[in-house]
Amino acid sequence: MTDSYIALARKWRPKAFNELVGQDHVSQALVNALRSGRVHHAFLFTGTRGVGKTSIARILAKCLNCEAGVTDTPCGQCASCREIETGRFVDLIEVDAASRTKVDDTREILDNVQFAPTRGRYKVYLIDEVHMLSTHSFNALLKTLEEPPPHVKFLLATTDPQKLPVTVLSRCLQFNLKRIPTAQIAATLRTVLEKEGIAFEPTGVALVAQAADGSMRDALSLLDQLIAFGGGSVAEAEARAMLGTVVRDHVVQLAERLAAGESPELLRFARTLEQWAPDYAQLLDELAALLTRVALKQVVGEAYEGDELYASELIARLAGEFAAEDVQLYYQTAIMGRRDLPLAPDPRTGFEMTLLRMIAFRPAEPRTPGARPVATSGPKRADARPEESSERYATQTESSPQRGKAAGAEPADAGDGQWSELLGQLDLQGAARQLASHCALIAREGGRVKLALDPRSGSLRTAALEEKLAQALSRHFGEPVRLEFVAASESGETPAQARQRASRERAEAARRAFEADPGVESFRERFGAEVIPETVRPVK
């Protein structure tokens, strides 16, 4: 490597508005202002580090001083453009406010504002980290900032706009630069690597983009470091080793053991990870990110957009192994465990306890993988004993007729087969499952399935959801299925209506049992107590 090597963050710094990444809202406003000739005298660019604040300011300085004239597309070839790019343009005064905070420094700079530009069309003051100026410095700047000479433009940049006086903010046009999305960073890094002729693995690039946390400059600096670390290439293994991230397969294996619900095996595997000296907080972050992808697949039926870390086949398989309510529980537990990790005796203990908490809080009753949870009609009573529930409310014994309805054994619908039982066997999730639950089966004649839809749920019927339901039925019956919807008056009770009816019946039975309870009768007689019917809920 020679001394003339230029770091990627410098070499690939944007030189025109069309090269900016992720800041279209800023470039569009500035381009329109330049084209119309309505260029304000003071601009304030805010945003986190490495998102393009200084780059935009330099591009704007080139647009104003290009020898071809004021333009939104500077030529980049004239002396002014080249000198601005290399930081040698005499009329571009760059000030680091972090090192020049004294009022005397500010006055020294402002004393030269009244003089005309030496070479360019405008004298441009670029003040970086402007929030670091002292109060007296801001006061010295205010008057000039409000009424500058016509040949002067002020470009201010800061990562902390809250520290700027409102008097300064009111005198500037403010542009808030956004964090750059990970997908855009990854796409830019791939383009840079292709132009540099460097071999890369997409997963390694994705890891660098994720570690950059929205900063393009950080991403290019990390990429430079990874190229050196990997001996001239970008690979996943080297990226994980450099960034200190755990192997992706480890996160997948944790998720698979969670889906199986095997506490001993889950804990045993978690302890084997210690040999890799992982960052347990990051491990929980990656597990939560994987669960997010699984939940998205279950609910929406689509893969994570631009995902290069996990194959779509893997996410689809995990979505089928997890129950939807378990994914939500595990995700919430993971992020709560991540927050509480510093409070644990040590990170490994906190990580293992988080995994055990996921299993411990998992609902005991069996659930269908991938299915959405069924809403219950009331909270569980932790102190209720089975025999007490049987004697007082008659809603939880195995012999009770209400028990079957509460457990999901809904009444059979009219038509060829029991629709409720068939619905439980279908590979169907999300809104498509809701559509099916609000239908009743009228008849099935070969590949034609006749359904009646509850009129109150007509908004659920869309072409996309009908197609998903037809595909699920086709897979179940092993032949193409065509759906036909008819008026609800021709049908029996839908599964959703059956659940609602069962819920009302359980609530009514609970109220009757509660009012007939000897203890309640005693309270009425002795204290004049009154039962509020809507507060009585059946015990689950």
Could you tell me if 471 and 520 lie in one domain? no
Average pLDDT over residues 223-229: 90
47 and 135 both lie in a single domain: yes
The pLDDT assigned to 246 comes to 59
Q: Residue 450 — very low, low, confident or very high, per pLDDT cuts 50/70/90?
A: confident
- Using pLDDT thresholds of 50, 70 and 90, give the confidence band for residue 322: confident
Answer whether residue 540 is part of any domain: no
Q: Is residue 196 part of a domain?
A: yes
Indicate if 393 and 464 belong to the same structural domain.
no
State the residue range of the domain holding 54. 8-176
Which CATH number does the domain housing residue 330 bear? 1.20.272.10
Domain boundary among 149, 176, 203: 176
The answer to whether residue 375 is domain-embedded is no
pLDDT at 174: 92
Reading the block at residue 35, the tokens are: 């084209």
Statement: residue 376 has pLDDT above 80: no
> What's the pLDDT score for residue 120?
87
Do 23 and 162 lie in one domain? The reply is: yes
The percent of residues in the chain predicted with pLDDT above 90, rounded, is: 19
Total structural domains within the chain: 5
Same domain, 89 and 233: no
Co-location of 15 and 153 in the same domain: yes
Q: Of 224, 243, 262, at which residue does a domain stop?
A: 243
Q: What is the CA radius of gyration of the chain?
A: 33
Ranked by mean pLDDT, the top range of 247-261, 312-326, 345-359 is: 345-359
Question: Which tokens in the block code for residue 320?
Answer: 């089928």
Report yes or no on 270 lying in a domain.
yes
Please report, for the domain that includes residue 125, its CATH number.
3.40.50.300
Same domain, 505 and 420: no
User: pTM value?
Assistant: 0.54
Q: What is the DSSP track for 269-328?
A: HHHHGGGG---HHHHHHHHHHHHHHHHHHHHT--PPTT--SS-HHHHHHHHHHS-HHHHH
Residue 23 resides in a domain: yes
Indicate whether 196 pLDDT > 70: yes
Q: Do 149 and 26 share a structural domain?
A: yes
Q: How far apart are CA 192 and CA 187, in angstroms?
A: 9
Give domain status of residue 381, yes or no.
no
Domain presence at residue 29: yes
Q: Are residues 42 and 155 in the same domain?
A: yes
Say yes or no: 98 and 149 in one domain. Answer: yes
